[in-house]
Amino acid sequence: MERLDKRLAATGKWSRKEARELIRAGRAAVDGQVCRTPEQKVGEEDAVTVDGVPIGPQGPVYLMLNKPAGVVSSTAEPGERTVLDLLGEEYQNLGIFPAGRLDKDTEGLLLLTNDGPLAHRLLSPKRHVDKVYYLEVDGALDQDDVEAVRAGVVLGDGYTCLPGELELLSSQSARITIHEGKYHQIKRMLAARGKPVTYLKRVRFGPLELDESLPKGAYRQLNDRELKGIFSQ
Ligand code: URA
C-alpha cells in the first residue's frame, strides 16, 4: 500500500505538491469514488483515475505504434485483427484505444492511449493538428498536383479540402501534409486528381514523428520530449 499522492507523483506527470493539490480539488478517484485525501492508502489492485483517466501501475499510457497493414484501428471488430491485438498482456485491460484512425491498409504512426481528454484535444477538428503521410500513386505526380493541394482539392462529393502541402519525391511518390482528418482523405484527394494511392504511411501526427527504428507492428512508450510535445498542443 502507498499514499495516493505518492502513487500519482510516481507517474512523473505531477510533482508530489501538484498531486496533493489535484487530489484536494476532487480530480482523483479510487475505485470510482472521488478521494480528496492525499494520505489515503491505495493498493496495486485499486483502480485510480485522475479526471477520469486510469492511472495504471505506470500511470496513463501513451504508446507510439508503427501500424502494419492488415490490422484495423479500432478496439474490437468482429473477424478483424485490431491494433490492440498487437499489444502485450501488460497493456490489455487498461482502457487503451487508438487516438485517430488509419485505414486497414495504411501503415505508420498511430498513438495509442487511455487518456481520453488528451486524445479528444489532439483530434478536435478545431485544432488542425498536422498529419504528414508518405504516399505512392498509380500515375505520374506533377506540379499541377502540388498546386491543386495548395489550393484545396475538391473531392468527389464536392467538399473542398483545406489547403495542404504536397512535396514530390519522385513521379510516383510524395510527402503530403494535411491539417484536417476527413474519412479516407488522402486516398480521396489523390483519386480526385486521377492518381489512386497504392501505398500510404503516416510519418507524423502533430509533434510526434514516427520512430523509423520501430519495425512494423512494434510499439514503445513515448519519451519525455514526445510527451511534452503532445501536451503542449
Ligand atoms: N487518409 C486516407 O485515405 N487513409 C488513411 O488511413 C489516412 C488518411
Q: What is the pLDDT of residues 21-48, one digit of tens each?
A: 999 999 999 989 999 999 999 987 788 8
pLDDT (mean) for 54-83: 89
Residue with CA closest to ligand 1 atom 3: 184
How many other CB atoms are there within 10 angstroms of residue 55's CB atom? Answer: 25
Whether the CB of 122 sits within 6 Å of ligand 1: no
Whether the CB of 187 sits within 6 Å of ligand 1: yes
The DSSP-derived string for 2-66 is EEHHHHHHTTSSS-HHHHHHHHHTT-EEETTEE---TT-EE-TTS-EEETTEEEBTTBS-EEEEE
56 has pLDDT over 70: no
Q: Among 42-46, 69-73, 84-88, 182-186, whose mean pLDDT is lowest?
A: 42-46
Classify the C-alpha dihedral 167-207-151-196 as positive or negative: positive
The domains of the chain, with CATH numbers, are: 2-54 (3.10.290.10), 62-125+208-231 (3.30.70.580), 131-205 (3.30.70.1560)
**Reported confidence tier of residue 15, pLDDT bands at 50, 70, 90:** confident
57 has pLDDT over 70: no
**Among the options 5, 31, 85, 103, which is catalytic?**
103
Q: Which atom of ligand 1 is nearest to the CA of 187?
A: 3
Give me the pLDDT at residue 2, please: 86
Q: Which atom of ligand 1 is nearest to the CA of 102?
A: 6
User: What is the reported pTM?
Assistant: 0.79
C-alpha pair distances (Å), 107 with each of 6, 115, 203: 39, 23, 9
**Reported confidence tier of residue 52, pLDDT bands at 50, 70, 90:** confident
18 has pLDDT over 80: yes
**Reported confidence tier of residue 224, pLDDT bands at 50, 70, 90:** confident
Whether the CB of 103 sits within 6 Å of ligand 1: yes
81 has pLDDT over 90: yes
DSSP SS3 for 172: coil
Burial 57-92 (b: 16+ CB within 10 A, else e): eebbbbbbbbbbbebbbeeeeeeeebbbebbeeebe
Tell me, yes or no, if 144 is annotated catalytic.
no
Give me the pLDDT at residue 45, please: 78
